[in-house]
Structure 1
Amino acid sequence: MKRNKYYRAFRAWLDELGRRFHFIKLLQSISREKYDEKLSAAVFYGILSALAINFFYQPGHVYSAGATGLAQIIQVKLATYGGLNLPLAAIYYAINIPLMVLAWRQIGHKFTVFTFITVSFSTLFMGWIPKVTLTSDPMINALFGGALMGLGIGLALRANISSGGMDVLILTIRKRTGRQVGNLSLTLNGVIILMAGLSFGWPYAFYSLVTLFVSTRVTDLVFTKQRKMQAMIVTSYPERVIKGIHTGLERGVTILNDAEGAYKHERKAVLITIITRAEYHEFKWIMRETDPEAFVTIADNVHTLGRFMEY
C-alpha cells in the first residue's frame, strides 16, 4: 500500500516536471514495471561496480577497461605529475558527461536518460563506499573485481540499459560504420590496457587483461546479448500484437493465417518472430499489453540465416 502511495506521488511529480522538461516525458512513457526493473538494475550495477573498484581495483592497482580504467589512469597521472588528488568518482563522471551529450544526439533519448541514471548511481556509490584493502595480491583483486564488474554489467544488460562509458562511443561508431560491437570493444579497451602497460609497467597490463576476461565471462553467464530466440504466438488479435512488436522492438513478424484451435474450433493467427535475449523482457511486456490470453512458445538459442539486425 505504501509503495503504491509513493509511486503515485512520484508519478504526479513527474507529470508536473514533464510539462517543462522533455527528458521527464520520456520517463512518463515507461510503464511502472519496466521503470522499476531498469531502476533496480541501475542501482545494483552502481553498487557492484563501486565494490569492484573500491575493494579490488584500486587497492590491487588493477586497471579496469572502459571509462573506469581511463579514469584510473587519469587519476594517477594527475596525482603524479600535477599534484592533484582528485576523487576517482569525479573523474569518472567528468568522462561520461560528453559521452551523454553524444548519446543524446546520436543514439536515442530514452537510452541516454537511463544511461545517465546508471552512471549517476555508479558515481554516487563509488564516492560513498569506502576504499577497503582486502588483499594486496593483484591477481586475486583482478579475479574478484572482474567477477563483480561482470555481474553488474550482466544485470544491466538484462534490463536493457547501458552502463555508460565506452558503450556509448562503441554504439555511436557502430551506427556510423556498421562495424561489429565485439571488434570495437576489443579495440577501445585494448588501447586503455596498452596505456596502463606503457604508463605503469606490463604486469599491470596483464592484470587488466585478466580482469577484462573474467568480467566478460561472468557477463556472458548472466546475460548473452547475441543469443537469439524464436517466439511463436497463437493469437486472436494479430494486428494488435504485430503493431506492438513493430513499434516496441522494431522486429519483423511472419503471419500464418487461418489457423484453427482444435478444442473450440476458433479461428486464430500464428505469428513467428525472432528476438534477442536482450529484448525478451520487453517482448513479455508487449504480449501482456496487446493480448494477455495469447499462447506463446519460446525456442531459445536459435540460429538464423539471412538478414537479422542486432541493435
Structure 2
Amino acid sequence: MFFFKKGLVIIIGSVFLATGINVFLAPNKILDGGFIGVSLIFNYLFKLKIGLTILVLSVPIFWIAWFKNRTYFYNSLHGLMISSFLIDLFKPLRFLIDMNAMFSSFIGGVLVGLGTGLMLRFEISTSGTDLLALFLSKKIGINVGIIIFAIDSVVITMGGLLISGHTFMLSIITITAVGITTSLITGNRLHT
C-alpha cells in the first residue's frame, strides 16, 4: 500500500507540474525557477526539450543524493523520471488554452507549486534543485518553499536578462505562487 500511495503521489504531482508548465507557462515564455526554469530558458532560446534538460541538469545533485541519503535518491529518482517524461509528453497541450499571460503566470505557478509541494510532502523531488532545497531545509530549519523561492529568484533574474523584461515580470508572479503553494502544502513537516 505504501508504494502504491507514493506512486500515486508521483503521478498526480507530475500531472500538476506538466500541466502548469505546458498549458500556462511555456506558451507565454514564463519561467519557473530551479532546473525547471533553467530548462525553460534552454527551451525558449535553443528549442531543447524541457523534461530531458531537467533530467540532465539534475544528474550532479542526484549523484550527491546517492551518497548522502539513498531514500531521497530512490524516491526522487522516480519523481524526476516520471515528471520529466510527462512534461515532454504534455507538450502538445501548449496551445490548449489562450489566456491572459498574467493569469497564466499565476495559475501555472499554483499548479507547479501543487505538484512540487505534494511530492515534497512525501520526500519526493522532481529535480535537483528541489532535492537540494529539501536537504537544506532539513539542515538549516527553513521551510523548503522559502529555499525554493530564493533559488527561483536567481533563475528568473537570469532568464529576464536573457529573454525579456516581460518574461521576468510574469515569472515573479509564477515563483511567488509556486513558493506560497509549496509552503502551504509542505507546512512545517519537512524541517523538523
Q: TM > 0.5 between the two?
A: yes
Q: Deviations over 1:156-202 (max 9, x none)?
A: 133332233312223455677x4735564343222101101111222
What is the aligned partner in structure 2 of residue 34 from structure 1?
Answer: 2
Structure 2 residue aligned with 1:128? 89
Q: Deviations over 1:45-87 (max 9, x none)?
A: 111111111111110111111111011112333x2xxxxx322
Percent identity between matched residues is: 23
In the other structure, the counterpart of 1:51 is: 19
CA distance in 2, matches of 1:93, 1:46: 14
Looking at structure 2, the residues matched to 75 and 128 of structure 1 have their Cα atoms a distance apart, in angstroms, of: 15
Q: How does 1:116-265 map to 2 (within 5 A)?
A: 116-129=77-90, 130-133=92-95, 134-135=97-98, 137-172=100-135, 178=140, 180-181=142-143, 184-221=147-184, 223-226=185-188
- Report the residue type matching 1:208 in the other structure: S
Distance 1:43 1:141 in 2: 23
* Secondary structure of residue in 1 paired with 2:127: coil
Residue in 2 that maps onto 1:105: 67
- The letter of the residue matching 1:225 is G
Residue 56 of structure 2 is aligned to residue 94 of structure 1: yes
Contact 2:30 2:167 in 1 (8 A): yes
Distance 1:163 1:144, change over 3 A: same
Match of 2:78, as an amino acid?
I
**How far apart, CA to CA, are the structure 2 residues paired with 1:139 and 1:168?**
29
Distance 2:147 2:10 in 1: 24
* AA aligned opposite 2:80: V
Q: In the alignment, residue 150 of structure 1 is paired with which amino acid?
A: G
Count of residue pairs brought into register by the alignment = 189
- Greater relative contact order, per chain length (Cα 8 Å cut-off, separation 6+): 2
**What is the alpha-carbon distance in structure 2 between the residues aligned to residue 35 and residue 199 of structure 1?**
42
- Three-state SS of the structure 2 residue aligned to 1:132 is helix
Q: What residue ranges of structure 2 are gaps of 5+ in the alignment?
A: none
Higher strand share: 1
Matched-pair contact (CA < 8 Å) for 1:45–1:156? yes
Q: Please state whether the residue corresponding to 2:85 is helix, strand or coil.
A: helix
Instruction: Measure the CA separation in 1 of the matches of 2:129 and 2:86.
Output: 20
2:156–2:168 contact (8 Å) kept in structure 1: yes
The 10-residue stretch of structure 1 (148-157 or 120-129) with the greater mean CA deviation from structure 2:
148-157
Gaps of 5+ in 1: 1-32, 80-84, 227-275, 279-309
Q: Give the whole-Å Cα distance in 2 for the aligned partners of 1:186 and 1:148.
A: 15
Root-mean-square deviation (Å): 2.2
Q: Which has the higher helix share?
A: 2
State TM-score, norm by structure 2. Answer: 0.86
